[in-house]
Structure 1
Amino acid sequence: MITNKPRFDEALRRFDEANSEDPTIEIADGKHYPKEVLYAHRMSACLGRVAPDASEALQLAARCQHIRRWSIPRNAFPMDTAGYHKWRNSLKRLHAELAGQIMQEVGYDAEIIGRVQTLLQKQQLKTDPEMQLLEDVICLVFLEYYFLDFAKQYPEEKVIDIVQKTWRKMTPQGHALALQLDMPASAQALVAKALA
């Protein structure tokens, strides 16, 4: 339940405004969008389908999950596994910090700000049902909208490994929803291979 709709709507607007500065443009349904604005709206829409009664904190976290992600490019870190993890951890801190600033400016209290920041930093993934639900939504959005383009960039064995890692992060409900996604045949074939 949203406790204060104008404040909630203003937070979403401010998240979108921050993401609208993304220099990467993507096309969806014939329209041009800054990449992270499009991603944020896809996250909100997916959460709305999967959990229409999601808490206010979870709805906010879904919308700002990649806020200003382009600010810390992957190539700012070594291109190895350790560098990848450092990059991801830096992004989590950035997202939590920016979301907290915006939420404070629009009038949220420390408790809900802290909750959104916890969700964005993926704390207690396996023990926090809301965190796990957010992870399901992240994985579903990836599989539905980004997986095929991602798969084209890498050898099949790496793609299969990524699908298997993605699958391990998801709940049984997330698995069921993923298998219902309307993915192209080539994407479905890769997922089937990964799960075989």
Structure 2
Amino acid sequence: MTASKFQKAIEWIDAENAQDPNTEIHESVSFPKELLYSDRMYAKLMDFYPNASEAVQIAAKAQHICRWKIARESYPMDRVGYLKWREELKKFHAKTTATILEKAGYDEDFIARVSFLIEKKLLKKDEETQLLEDVICLVFLEYYLAPFVEKHDTEKLKNIILKTWNKMSDKGHQAALQISYSPENLQLIKDALGL
């Protein structure tokens, strides 16, 4: 049986992310950082919304594709620099994914839709963009909040949690409160949200 367009696209996205020189240890195993992130995004999407369209599934997998190629340090280390970096990354992720999808045999409309989602356009207005944003936030809260806590002061953390929360839908909020946090981090979330 020949691989479907979808299988090829996912395989090629994984192959790109597997080249990440940065690693992260998960359950005593070292993974390329963005490959692990991509797997977490996909697993969370299928858990949170199993009926997600093919476009959302690919956008979730490719959310951070080859992120290490545009270093944060290549932009000014201030708020403006950070926002510019984020904007460039969105375009870069969308373009890198579009090239893969073209090679896999997807049509222009489908590729444009995936790019639209990766660039997170019409957040709060487009249901699939919102779904993707919910998944991004859930993955952050489940896997990346704890390392953040070690690096930042309480006020900054509360601000980050509040910003994350404000990007999510009600369904996202319900799922976020089901995540198993450390007692300290759960308290931090409650404090940030005034619960």
| Consecutive unaligned residues in structure 1, runs of 5 or more | none
The offset of 1:29, in angstroms, is 2.0
Given the alignment, which residue of 82, 96, 100 partners 2:94?
A: 96
Match of 2:35, as an amino acid?
V
Paired-residue identity, %: 46
Post-superposition Cα deviations, 1:20-43, rounded to whole Å, max 9, x if no partner, equal 111111111222110000000000
Partner Cα separation in structure 2 for residue 81 and residue 44 of structure 1: 29
| Consecutive unaligned residues in structure 2, runs of 5 or more | none
Give me the TM-score of the superposition, normalised by structure 2.
0.97
Partner Cα separation in structure 2 for residue 126 and residue 192 of structure 1: 23
Partner Cα separation in structure 1 for residue 185 and residue 70 of structure 2: 29
User: What is residue 59 of structure 2 aligned with on the other side?
Assistant: 61
SS in 2 for 1:125: coil
SS in 2 for 1:152: helix
Give me the TM-score of the superposition, normalised by structure 1.
0.96
> Is it true that 1:12 corresponds to 2:35 in the alignment?
no
User: What is residue 151 of structure 1 aligned with on the other side?
Assistant: 149
Match of 2:18, as an amino acid?
S
Post-superposition Cα deviations, 1:103-133, rounded to whole Å, max 9, x if no partner, equal 0001111011000000010111111000001
User: What is residue 137 of structure 1 aligned with on the other side?
Assistant: 135
Kindly tell me the number of residue pairs found equivalent between the two proteins: 193
> Is it true that 1:37 corresponds to 2:15 in the alignment?
no
The offset of 1:5, in angstroms, is 6.5
User: What is residue 46 of structure 1 aligned with on the other side?
Assistant: 44
Given the alignment, which residue of 168, 171, 179 partners 1:170?
A: 168
Task: Give the CA RMSD over aligned residues.
Answer: 1.1
Partner Cα separation in structure 2 for residue 186 and residue 20 of structure 1: 33
User: What is residue 21 of structure 2 aligned with on the other side?
Assistant: 23
The offset of 1:174, in angstroms, is 0.4
